[in-house]
Amino acid sequence: MFFKSGVVTVPEGVLELVVSNLAIPFDPLSVQVSLHAPSVDSDLISAYVVGAMTPDGFTVQFSSTIPSEGYVLNWTAWASEIAPSSGDTLALQYSDLFSEVKRFLGYGGAGTTLSDSQAEEVDSYVQAGVRQFYYPPAVNGVDVNHEWSFMRPFGQVTTTIGSSTVLMPEGFGRLIGNVEFDPELYIPAAVSCPEGLVRERLASSPEMGAPKLVCSRRIETYGPDGQRCQLLMWPTPDKEYVLSFRQESDSGKLSETGRPFHLGGARFSELVLESCLSIAEQRANDEAGIHTERFNTLLASAIMQDRKFSATFYGPLSSSSLGTDSPSFLGRIPNQRGRFTIHYKGMSW
């Protein structure tokens, strides 16, 4: 763990606040704090960390005395001197999304305590809104087949000698593109293809070596994080290879401490907020109102921006199905002589 975050209610009349009993599982080298006012009409007050930082806590000083109840301090302690930001200083956190949905439902401002059922309701709308953002529905002006560039991170697995399968990382959703080896090995990338082709090669040519064909598939067993995937390979690995690949993945369920930020950063924060509010108005009010309309508008704009950002990523070049020896994309399949043939729309080179 390299960070821990939390929320503290600030008492009225204080100029300096000692935040303690945090039990941070590391020695914090930096702490970020921000003060949220109870309403738009409240005084804007800045917060600063002063003095030493320890696993037990730290001290915060405010630019002026807290004038009323309802002010809330958000803090994040980092195990590095410079907190990773990449623009996330403007991104909305889970607590921000929670507060906005809470206010929309009429449950009060930041200082209002919710019942367990109310907190569960607000959280369910936030999580559903984030899911809707990650996997957007088909609406006017939106391509339902669009895949967000920020949901295609790189992953790695290490093969086992003599095993044609390896368990994929938690959060893995789908394999994108081919699988690469360590560059120092000078081994061609293993081609991603349908499971049937890999199984056929394993049955007809049960040899060992560096994998040339791979596919990802779901396994039957479920764990605490849901159904997992495994990578099926041909030939069966004869060594422990470190395989790198691009995958479809999400960040998991948001929370105040474990995963406070949604994927995509500040660029998409307003879209995520409107997604959460649209879910709230649809489920709580049984209507598709102004927030649903605004979500659809922002979604179409965000997809256009993301396409410009990810224009250098090349996906499938053809939608034809993959035959026994003919991939549906511009790829390489080793033939019987160990050479590589390129297939595209019926043409071979």
Residues 211-236: pLDDT tens digits? Answer: 999 999 988 766 666 778 999 999 99
Query: Which one, of 218, 214, 210, 188, lies nearest residue 201 by Cα?
Result: 214
Place 319 in a pLDDT band, splitting at 50, 70 and 90.
very low
118: β partners: none
Which segment of 38-47, 82-91, 155-164, 214-223 scores lowest on mean pLDDT?
A: 82-91
Answer for the pair 298, 270: CB distance below 8 angstroms, yes or no. Answer: yes
Average pLDDT on 300-324 reads 57
The reported pLDDT for the residue numbered 317 is 43
3-state SS, one letter per residue, for 21-59: CCCCCCCCCEEEEEEECCCCCCCCCCEEEEEEEECCEEE
Looking at per-residue confidence, does 321 or 203 come out higher? Answer: 203
The reported pLDDT for the residue numbered 198 is 96
Instruction: Please state the φ and ψ torsions of residue 295, each to the nearest 5 degrees.
Output: -60, -45
The 10s digit of each residue's pLDDT in 95-129 is 999 999 999 999 987 678 899 999 999 999 999 99
Residue 266 DSSP label: G
Question: Is the whole model's pTM more than 0.85, yes or no?
Answer: no
Place 342 in a pLDDT band, splitting at 50, 70 and 90.
low
Residue 329 DSSP label: S
Number of Cβ within 10 Å of residue 335's Cβ equals 10
17: β partners: 60
Average pLDDT on 291-310 reads 83
Structure tokens at 79: 């195990």
Give CA–CA dist 84/240, Å, rounded. 33
Average pLDDT on 168-179 reads 86
Average pLDDT on 159-178 reads 90
Can you list the alpha helix ranges (DSSP code H) found in the chain? 94-104, 116-134, 195-204, 269-284, 290-309
Looking at per-residue confidence, does 59 or 41 come out higher? Answer: 59
The reported pLDDT for the residue numbered 347 is 55
Average pLDDT on 265-276 reads 92
The reported pLDDT for the residue numbered 216 is 94
* CA-based torsion, 283, 284, 288, 294: positive or negative: negative
The reported pLDDT for the residue numbered 292 is 93
Give CA–CA dist 329/342, Å, rounded. 9
The reported pLDDT for the residue numbered 49 is 86
Which segment of 9-23, 95-109, 267-281, 317-331 scores lowest on mean pLDDT?
A: 317-331
The reported pLDDT for the residue numbered 162 is 95
Query: Which one, of 165, 256, 178, lies nearest residue 212 by Cα?
Result: 178
What are the strands of the beta sheet with 16-19, ordered from one edge? 16-19, 57-62, 47-54
Query: What's 1-84's CATH class?
Result: mainly beta
Number of Cβ within 10 Å of residue 86's Cβ equals 8
* CA-based torsion, 43, 48, 51, 52: positive or negative: positive
Query: Which one, of 23, 16, 17, 15, lies nearest residue 6 by Cα?
Result: 23
pLDDT at 10 over 50: yes
Structure tokens at 128: 């559903």
Q: Exposed, middle or buried: residue 203 (CB in 10 Å: 0-12, 13-18, 19+)?
A: exposed
Residue for token digits 């256009």?
304
Looking at per-residue confidence, does 152 or 11 come out higher? Answer: 11
Q: Domain spans of the chain?
A: 1-84, 149-249
Answer for the pair 138, 303: CB distance below 8 angstroms, yes or no. Answer: no
The 10s digit of each residue's pLDDT in 130-148 is 999 998 887 765 666 677 8
User: What angle do the packed helices 116-134 and 94-104 form, to 10 degrees?
Assistant: 120
Task: Tell me the chain's radius of gyration from C-alpha atoms.
Answer: 25
Give the torsion through C-alpha atoms of 328, 331, 336, 339, to 10 deg: 160
pLDDT at 332 over 50: no
Give the 3-state secondary structure of residue 326: coil
Place 157 in a pLDDT band, splitting at 50, 70 and 90.
very high
Residues 6+ apart with CB under 8 A from 75: 5, 6, 7, 8, 19, 31, 32, 33, 58, 60
pLDDT at 30 over 60: yes
- Dihedral-angle region of residue 125 (phi above 0 means left; psi in -120 to 50 means alpha; beta otherwise): alpha
Answer for the pair 97, 124: CB distance below 8 angstroms, yes or no. Answer: no
Answer for the pair 343, 331: CB distance below 8 angstroms, yes or no. Answer: yes
* Mean pLDDT for all residues in the chain: 81
The reported pLDDT for the residue numbered 339 is 44
